[in-house]
Structure 1
Amino acid sequence: MASRLLLLSALLLVCLAQVSSDLETGDEVALVVRGTNRRLLPYLDCGGLCKVRCSLHSRPNLCSRACGTCCVRCKCVPPGTSGNREICGTCYTDMTTHGNRTKCP
């Protein structure tokens, strides 16, 4: 009985390590629940995407904070260091600050 428990816990650790590595690489992860195969959303690296987006900004820390908020809410960061905002749709383009200026860089 103890050997079965040890074997099951080792198998669980291997599965969790595989899911963790899949999430780090940005791959989709398949979740199998009672014979059904459900797809999870791909992992979005907001920190890395915003770092690239704000790399040439005059205030990179401020830009990264705003970009991170927009990335989490809209699930999108436009490519490049500026422009291309329409690619992310109205969620990204219509978000404003308290001063009624565009929030997302």
Structure 2
Amino acid sequence: MIEFSPEVAESIITIASFVASGLALIAGVGPGIGMGYAAGKATTAVRRQPEARGAIITTMLLGQVVSGSTGIYSLIIAIFLIFGI
């Protein structure tokens, strides 16, 4: 088994935390793409049925809130990893 000095072990843990936080922030890309796609589809739906505008926008916003929460969770996890909370 490899024995590391405390300074080296702390450096390895710090580097691993930074790499893991970067990977956690990649999770923010998916919600961003999904929200843009949903907004585009909602715009198309409102253009086709202007009388249903209120229901379409309400449904779109609810879906964006739910999908955006995963991006917020990944940001919080990245902050925890960086600052060691």
Q: Do they superpose with TM above 0.5?
A: no
Which is bigger in relative contact order (C-alpha 8 A, separation at least 6)? 2
The answer to which structure has the higher strand fraction is 1
The answer to which structure has the higher helix fraction is 2
